[in-house]
Amino acid sequence: MNRLRANGTARTRSILQLWPAVAAVALACCAVHAQQAAAFGPSNPFYAPSMLPFQAPPFDKIKDSDYQPAIDAGLAQQLKEAEAIANNPAPPTFQNTLVALEKSGQLLNRVQFVFNCVTGANTDDELEKVQAYEAPRFAANQDAIYLNSRLFARVKAIYDKRASLHLDPESLKLAEWYYQQFIKAGALLSDADKEKLKKINEEDATLSNDFMTRLLAATRDGAYFTTDVSALAGLNDAQLAAAAQAAQARSSATADKSAAAGKQPGWLIPLQNTTQQPDLSFLTNRDTRRAIFENSWNRTERSDTNDTRAIIARLAQLRAQKGALLGYPSFAAWNLTDQMAKTPETALHFVEALVPATTAGAASEAKDIQALIDAQHGGFTLAPWDWEFYTEQVRKAKYDLDESQEKSYFELNNVLQNGVFYAAHQLYGLTFKERHDLPVYQPDVRVFEVFDADSRPLALFYCDYFKRDNKNGGAWMDELVGQSKLLGTLPVVYNVANFEKPAPGQPALLSFDDVTTMFHEFGHALHGMFADTEYPSLSGPQVARDFVEFPSQFNEHWASYPEVFHHYARNYKTGEPMPADLVAKMNKAHAFDQRHNLTELLAAAELDLKWHTLPASAPLQDPDVFEKQALQKAGLWMAVVPPRYRSSYFLHIWANGYAAGYYAYLWTEMLDDNAFQWFEDHGGLTRANGDRFRRMVLSRGNTEDLETMYDTWLGGKPTIDPMLKFRGLKDDGSN
């Protein structure tokens, strides 16, 4: 989304001063929407399962006004179904308790899947109001189910006698999973403590939603706008045309036509959700680079309206209190109990073990950049807003390469069809057919039907790749319909990204980082498409946070695998493949910045863990002070390499479910690098390898212990060596 300049007053304002205003806004919003109950009946498109193929959502029939009544009805229905299970006079059995729970909440699932999709990728003011109103209600509904003592007693009764029930392995896993979920949710608490927990969960949900709303607005407002095209020197014609189109679209969306008509032309560069911004690689004007960077860095600290610091300080405090209430020293200690790492100490040790070599490498890269600046008589010291630009300069100097050379070989549709889909065909036998008969939620969205190797329909795949002001930053995968044999449903999955949309008539050219993002998110999509389980709660990507990124990061490797790369890396004008010398230069050039990139990730993971290992006794923290102290202590405070996400706009951990779990990207990198090494050792890109991986991992969801699943497939325990090799932190002997 977007950026601007720092507001000194907002930056120095006390967190305690801002907090009452935050709470007041949330409460007022709830009060307004509590009066807006609407009738729910057959005319609502969520009333019954969709009649479209794969039960795909009828987006052409769904209006903003349909969501709230459907959600409210779904919440009420789910609660009623749970109460009926809890109050069943018959003795608890696997069928009348756990299978019944798996079949419950189908109306809520229908609307929630779609609502999550549109509020993330195509939101508007009305949807944001509904989201703010419903967030605490979702939390309350979950508490009402998982803190129901009668329901827990039935779940526990099945769990206690599970060994004598002769359950199949997946059903046994479901019995264990439900018991664990109830325990983790607080089922063993006293009634008084359950009430405390409910209040914490409700406030957390409200604040997380408020954080997301403020961040979206702050990112939009932080866009860099100029009427002086010389400030954008270094951008090519296509980039300037895209910036002009973005400015025109913004003007049309925010002003009446008569007012917009009299305005002089302008150019707008929206922000993406990360600290560094793509256009910093090209802009020759240092003042412009600095303005864009500062807009990004200060996006949520520029005004009281969009300042998130009070929210995150309170969220950290609430989560620490939740951990203590549930009997743990911190939120992270509680939250990691069902993850592969198990404890925050293990996660922190893993992250911090990578710090010395990584930061030393980043410091070395910084020296190379500073040497170039000095050689050019720049007369200044390297700053964060210079890094991306001079990295490109170093690449040009050392490798005779700049990003614009490579982008001409990465046209989006060609990457999708001849890269992403091609790799999936070679590995798994999949084929794809675009469908134009299914409705979408925004014109840029495309839909593909996915067919298995035996030509049977497997899934639907939606992709939404271009940046919009009303779309959350970053890239992600989710489901519109989940797979389940019990429910008779096949998967409908989608990928969302924030690539720069080209001007009309121009090709969508990607950086190699964008290409890697496409492969990454499609790895998540494959995890959903290949799901082959009975129970929806164990299906597809419903796995531990520090495992869920494994399939996606593994799939990234195929982006640079020679057979796949040469199939899609073709000049968009001539169709010629990328020349071998350019491929070699690109591979070497991209290795140059690896330590910098890894330092950014380590800093973000460290911040997340430090926020979520605060004890309940800790006072409200000043995020800016806390952030600096945490990074300094870990040896990750580098003035020229800020974290990938500043605490105040760290969407993953404050609103997207990665609390105490951002380390998962690095943890699963270890898993995926070991996995790719296994593929290389066993013949690489073959159907036999792909089918084995699908059968033993991608199709299994959470139906067995994840560590055992992985080790069985790999044939042993993973080590950190392949990660160090692929990151360039360890010589593999090839140099």
Neighbour count for residue 358 (Cβ, 10 Å): 25
Nearest C-alpha neighbor of 534 from the set 13, 173, 192: 173
pLDDT in tens, 606-656: 999 999 999 999 999 999 999 999 999 999 999 999 999 999 999 999 998
The pLDDT score that the predictor gives to residue 133 is 95
pTM recorded for the entire structure: 0.86
In the annotation, is 549 catalytic? no
The pLDDT score that the predictor gives to residue 28 is 37
The pLDDT score that the predictor gives to residue 119 is 96
Q: Do 552 and 546 form a contact (C-beta atoms < 8 A)?
A: no
Residue 399 has pLDDT above 90, yes or no: no
Task: Please state the rounded mean pLDDT for residues 160-170.
Answer: 97
What is the band of 24 on the pLDDT scale with cuts at 50, 70, 90? very low
The pLDDT score that the predictor gives to residue 398 is 78
Residue 252 has pLDDT above 60, yes or no: yes
What is the band of 732 on the pLDDT scale with cuts at 50, 70, 90? very low
CATH topology agreement for domains 8-216 and 403-577: yes
Which of 241-250, 412-421, 557-566 comes out lowest in average pLDDT? 241-250
Q: Which residue has the higher pLDDT, 11 or 611?
A: 611
The residue ranges of every structural domain in the chain are 8-216, 220-297, 403-577
The pLDDT score that the predictor gives to residue 35 is 40
Q: Do 465 and 444 form a contact (C-beta atoms < 8 A)?
A: yes
Question: Average per-residue pLDDT in the chain?
Answer: 91
Nearest C-alpha neighbor of 547 from the set 651, 697, 428, 654: 697
- In this structure, which topology does domain 8-216 adopt according to CATH? Neurolysin; domain 3 (1.10.1370)
d(CA 255, CA 703): 53
Neighbour count for residue 14 (Cβ, 10 Å): 11
Choice among 202, 521, 534, 669 that is catalytic: 521
Q: Do 344 and 612 form a contact (C-beta atoms < 8 A)?
A: yes
pLDDT in tens, 302-360: 888 999 999 999 999 999 999 999 999 999 999 999 999 999 999 999 999 999 999 99
The pLDDT score that the predictor gives to residue 591 is 76
Residue 20 has pLDDT above 80, yes or no: no
Task: Please state the rounded mean pLDDT for residues 140-146.
Answer: 96
In CATH, what class is 403-577? mainly alpha
Residue 511 has pLDDT above 80, yes or no: yes
Sequence-distant (6+) residues with CB within 8 A of 714 are: 674, 675, 678
Residue 258 has pLDDT above 60, yes or no: no
Task: Please state the rounded mean pLDDT for residues 194-223.
Answer: 95
> In 511-561, where does DSSP find H-type helix?
512-529, 545-560
d(CA 468, CA 509): 17
The pLDDT score that the predictor gives to residue 726 is 85
